[in-house]
Structure 1
Amino acid sequence: MNDQAEGTQATPSPIILETRNLQKDFKGFTAINNVSVQVQTGSIHALIGPNGAGKTTFFNLLTQFLKPSAGQIIYDGKDITHSRPAGIAQKGLIRSFQISAVFPHLSARENVRIALQRTLGVSYQFWRSKRVLDQLNEEAQATLELVELGDFADTKAVELPYGQKRALEIATTIALKPRLMLLDEPTQGMSSEDVSTVTDLIKRVVEGRTIVMVEHNLNVVATLADTITVLNRGEVLAEGDYDTVSTNPAVMEAYMGTTDAA
């Protein structure tokens, strides 16, 4: 008889995303070299490193904007190394970009509503009837409330301050029902006030989701990340929590050019 009792469910894997010896070569230049990373389900995993370390290339490999030269990408127990970008998104691995990617002349509600169209099976079909799209207004409003944009539902995206545009982008990402969110520099170019707002926002939306983020602001990383992977010259330099990596001599040298204490 099977050891599992009838009606029981398998325990979800603690690892939602894994890369195994991932590599990317560009005409003799190796941008990502033998990178193996494991991301725990329900965690915030930060990817940091000096400029040119390979962070964005790594993100592009995860979402198949670039094809790996070698290695594997495992998501939710399945090999997605050779999947198409649209197929990866349909599996719940959703990415935001460094530059805000919302429709500037649509309202905040309309931006979220377009993302929600996936739930009706009519994604990217903009010329739907008002009756069909109005079905999504309540969920769109709830999503905006989650990112503190409820009062700006009718405001065009172009009229929102930069920090609120990034909040709207996170709202549209949430609307795509991600299991794993890839956030590429979510606080880039923000004032300290906006950085604080978006940091608090990420804390709120992580419940029930996993986040992998590339982030230059180490204060944000220290506040949010459960695990940090440090890349340098395309290779994993160190990994662990913030206290572990911030005191690692190799990390200090990569960032500061010295291991001497200040």
Structure 2
Amino acid sequence: MSNEIKPSTAPASTTILETTNLVKEFRGFVAVNGVNLKVRRGDIHALIGPNGAGKTTCFNLLTKFLTPSSGTIRFNGQDITHEPPQKIARMGVVRSFQISAVFPHLTVLENVRIALQRKLGTSFHFWKSERTLDQLNGQAMALLESVGLERYAAMVTVEMPYGRKRALEIATTLALDPELMLLDEPTQGMGHEDVDRVMELIKKVSANRTILMVEHNMKVVSGICDAITVLARGSILAEGDYARVSGDPAVIEAYMGSDATELASPVEAAA
């Protein structure tokens, strides 16, 4: 009889990220109030809400840039509530930021290579010759190809249009091989053409991974998201697909006074 240990055939949980009664309080002001969030594995999940709803604070809690006042956060069933940001990044939770976070005076290829250095264990070996990173060129070019930037590899990043800088940021995020990507306002400040390009890019890179994003553009939310959580005053107001949440009277009331396009019907939002 063989003593070989066979891998488990039990299916992975459908929930990749879950919060229970998540609270963040700042000197008496409750920014996040009892949030119970469930993100399904493989979904593109949007976190939306009016200004001041607590979306960014919630993101900062999930990526451990802030410590919860109370409640728990679980990733793949493991409690990460008190883990530091670098540890959860190594576990596969990687975040992009509202402001494009790339090195402007390096080339596009060099930006991706820096993100890939972590796998070599040489992230801080700044005294080593740049030639030691040449082994990463093939992998970096493959990542650039995946986001449509391969022909810009030699361009200095500062010369790139804003929309392509955001695509580069997604490439550097992918370089960390995330299981869960958190995207903070990925289309903020973009024109229609760039928004369409980034929407297609997010759909493409969502294969075999989960995406949770904060997004104001309802065209993006209605066009690519499988699930939506609406926050208002730090609490969950509604959840479901776009058709469900856009028709919810409580959601409509919460958005009163906002840009009228924000609560367009799914057909109008996709136009």
The residue number in structure 2 matching 1:250 is: 250
Q: Are residues 124 and 44 of structure 1, via their aligned partners in 2, closer, same or farther at CA, if it must alter by over 3 Å?
A: farther
Amino acid at match of 1:60: N
Counterpart secondary structure, 1:68: coil
The residue number in structure 2 matching 1:17 is: 17
> Where does 1:73-88 land on structure 2 (aligned, <5 Å)?
73-88=73-88
Which digits, 9 at most, give the CA deviation of each residue in 1:49-77, with x for residues without a partner?
00000000000000111110010000011
The residue number in structure 2 matching 1:136 is: 136
Q: Are residues 239 and 150 of structure 1, via their aligned partners in 2, closer, same or farther at CA, if it must alter by over 3 Å?
A: same
Contact 1:114/1:126 (8 A) holds in 2: no
Amino acid at match of 1:165: K
Q: Distance in 2 between matches of 1:6 and 1:88?
A: 28
The residue number in structure 2 matching 1:175 is: 175
Q: So what's the TM-score if we normalise by structure 1?
A: 0.94
1:36 lines up with 2:36 in the alignment? yes
Name stretches of at least 5 consecutive residues in structure 1 with no aligned partner: none
Q: Distance in 1 between matches of 2:17 and 2:6?
A: 29
Counterpart secondary structure, 2:255: helix
The residue number in structure 2 matching 1:201 is: 201
Q: Distance in 1 between matches of 2:40 and 2:148?
A: 28
Q: Distance in 2 between matches of 1:191 and 1:7?
A: 48
Q: So what's the TM-score if we normalise by structure 2?
A: 0.91
Name stretches of at least 5 consecutive residues in structure 2 with no aligned partner: 259-263, 266-271
- Percentage of pairs with the same residue: 63
How many Å apart are 1:138 and its aligned residue? 0.3
Counterpart secondary structure, 1:216: coil
Q: Distance in 1 between matches of 2:208 and 2:7?
A: 23
> Where does 1:1-262 land on structure 2 (aligned, <5 Å)?
6-256=6-256
Q: Are residues 7 and 197 of structure 1, via their aligned partners in 2, closer, same or farther at CA, if it must alter by over 3 Å?
A: closer
Amino acid at match of 1:141: M
How many Å apart are 1:125 and its aligned residue? 3.3
How many Å apart are 1:9 and its aligned residue? 2.7
Which digits, 9 at most, give the CA deviation of each residue in 1:154-209, with x for residues without a partner?
11110100000000000000001100000000000000110001001001000011
- Give the paired residue count: 256
Counterpart secondary structure, 1:169: helix
Contact 1:19/1:37 (8 A) holds in 2: yes
Amino acid at match of 1:115: A
How many Å apart are 1:7 and its aligned residue? 4.6
How many Å apart are 1:6 and its aligned residue? 4.7
Contact 1:104/1:158 (8 A) holds in 2: yes
Q: Distance in 2 between matches of 1:235 and 1:27?
A: 18
Contact 1:47/1:229 (8 A) holds in 2: yes
Q: Are residues 156 and 245 of structure 1, via their aligned partners in 2, closer, same or farther at CA, if it must alter by over 3 Å?
A: same
Q: Distance in 1 between matches of 2:88 and 2:125?
A: 20
Which digits, 9 at most, give the CA deviation of each residue in 1:136-168, with x for residues without a partner?
000000000110000000111101000000000
RMSD over aligned CA atoms reads: 1.6
Q: Distance in 2 between matches of 1:209 and 1:8?
A: 21
Amino acid at match of 1:114: I
Q: Are residues 199 and 124 of structure 1, via their aligned partners in 2, closer, same or farther at CA, if it must alter by over 3 Å?
A: farther
Q: Distance in 2 between matches of 1:6 and 1:84?
A: 33
Contact 1:24/1:33 (8 A) holds in 2: yes
Contact 1:227/1:241 (8 A) holds in 2: yes
Amino acid at match of 2:220: V
How many Å apart are 1:257 and its aligned residue? 5.2
Counterpart secondary structure, 2:36: strand
